[in-house]
Copies of this chain bind each other. A is one copy, B any other.
Amino acid sequence: MDKKGRKRGVTIRDIARELNVTPSTVSRALNGSPRISTERKEEVLAVAKQLNYRPNQLATSLRTGKGKMLGVMVPTTDRSFFSSVIRGIEEEASAAGYSVMICQSHDLVAKEKQNIASFLGAQVDAVLASLAMEKSKFTHYERITEENTPLVLFDRITDNISVNKIIINDFSGAKKVMHHLFEQGYTRIAHLAGPQQVALYAERVRGYKAALAEKEIPFDPDLCIECTQILAEGYRAAQKLMGLAHPPDAIFASGDYAAMGAMQYLQERQIKIPEEIGIAGFSNESFTSLVNPSITTVDQHSLQMGITAAKLALSLAESPVQTAQTTVLEPSLIIRNSSKRKPEP
């Protein structure tokens, strides 16, 4: 601590003084410059270790413009999907010597703006983000690219902004669910769609419709209910569906929480799952394997998505001149009891 109560660490100056050389020599030695003799390097390294020297990242970043830090923004960390993605990003980043700054938007544009300001202020080398659900004009994201900081969008993306994107094939995921439901003998399948301003939910609806079309089943608007993918809305949607003149014999929800809500309603009504009605969700939320019956869902390979996104972000951070690309990951169907009414073959 100096006289002002601030903490003071060991600096290259201290090492330099110890060895009667200049800070520049120490710096070069530490960074393995070829212009420094091997013996000097060893001396410097020894003293550095002895003094427990730790480079001040801030100073290095300020000088070099590279902060060795990735900014990650997700709507929330307590969904298993996002938390896995983060884990993937972290693994990849820390392997490359980068640290990760995580922020949550709580699906609020205002918070997004705030977080972006934080990222930019902290001079992160790249930003990885999954968009908030709130409708917006994405101008705050443009400020990132304006400052020449690489931006990678994952999962919740938009076409309104031209950057690198990592998504899963939501269209295909939805179709896989539908094929499975057809295979199990369900024919009148309802869909609990997510907010359609979010691209991935729109994609899933597209997959739903495409699967119907393949079977030459006309699309029935009554069976496709748009709702935020939370438990209560799934419950209400199921209620509505069961009140129809021709209720569905299966419900495919665009999110696991809505699927769960629907299931709760059906169970309260003593409707047997999967015998009378089949249920499927999306995201492979951890509870889907715990509840009874376990819920059929779609795994999004979240860890892999994080790794892929991080790799891309890191490469962009090192060499910023690259053209925007979109990587599409293939999701996997996970069949569980909520939709299995045929015996195993």
Please list the residues of chain A having a beta carbon within 8 angstroms of any beta carbon in chain B. 1, 5-7, 9, 54-59, 61-62, 64-67, 69, 76-78, 80, 83-84, 86-87, 90, 94, 99-104, 106, 114, 117-118, 120-123, 147-149, 231, 260, 264, 267, 286-287, 290-292, 320-321
The main secondary structure of chain A at its interface with chain B is mixed
**In the bound complex, how far is the Cα of B267 from the Cα of A174, in angstroms?**
32
Contact check: which of B83, B86, B121 meets A57 at CB < 8 Å?
B121
Chain B residue nearest in CB terms to A64: B6
In the assembled complex, the CB of A84 is this many whole angstroms from the nearest CB of chain B, namely 7
In the assembled complex, the CB of A93 is this many whole angstroms from the nearest CB of chain B, namely 10
Contact check: which of B54, B59, B118, B260 meets A117 at CB < 8 Å?
B54
Please give the count of copies of this chain that the complex contains. Answer: 2
Chain B residue nearest in CB terms to A122: B57
Contact check: which of B58, B83, B101, B321 meets A62 at CB < 8 Å?
B58
Contact check: which of B66, B104, B291 meets A290 at CB < 8 Å?
B291
Contact check: which of B87, B104, B321 meets A104 at CB < 8 Å?
B87
**In the bound complex, how far is the Cα of B114 from the Cα of A290, in angstroms?**
34
B148 lies within 8 A of A65 (CB): no
In the assembled complex, the CB of A138 is this many whole angstroms from the nearest CB of chain B, namely 17
Q: Of A86, A104, A121, A149, which is in contact with the most chain B CB atoms at under 10 Å from its CB?
A: A121
With contacts A9-B147, A58-B61, A260-B290 taken as known, whether A94 is within 8 angstroms of B121 at the C-beta atoms is no
In the assembled complex, the CB of A5 is this many whole angstroms from the nearest CB of chain B, namely 6
A76 lies within 8 A of B69 (CB): no
A101 lies within 8 A of B104 (CB): no
Contact check: which of B118, B264, B321 meets A99 at CB < 8 Å?
B118
Taking CB atoms, residues of chain B closer than 8 Å to A55 are 121
Contact check: which of B6, B56, B231, B320 meets A5 at CB < 8 Å?
B320
A54 lies within 8 A of B84 (CB): no
3 tightest CB-CB pairs across the interface, nearest first? A78-B83, A7-B148, A287-B287
**In the bound complex, how far is the Cα of B100 from the Cα of A77, in angstroms?**
14
**In the bound complex, how far is the Cα of B57 from the Cα of A101, in angstroms?**
14
User: Besides A99-B122, A290-B291, 18 other CB < 8 A contacts?
Assistant: A5-B320, A7-B149, A56-B121, A57-B123, A58-B58, A58-B61, A76-B83, A77-B83, A77-B102, A78-B78, A78-B84, A78-B286, A90-B103, A94-B118, A99-B121, A100-B102, A100-B103, A264-B290
Taking CB atoms, residues of chain B closer than 8 Å to A9 are 147
A104 lies within 8 A of B122 (CB): no
Chain B residue nearest in CB terms to A261: B290
**In the bound complex, how far is the Cα of B119 from the Cα of A99, in angstroms?**
9
In the assembled complex, the CB of A139 is this many whole angstroms from the nearest CB of chain B, namely 12
**In the bound complex, how far is the Cα of B78 from the Cα of A102, in angstroms?**
13
With contacts A1-B148, A83-B76, A83-B83 taken as known, whether A102 is within 8 angstroms of B102 at the C-beta atoms is yes
Q: Of A78, A117, A231, which is in contact with the most chain B CB atoms at under 10 Å from its CB?
A: A78
In the assembled complex, the CB of A70 is this many whole angstroms from the nearest CB of chain B, namely 11
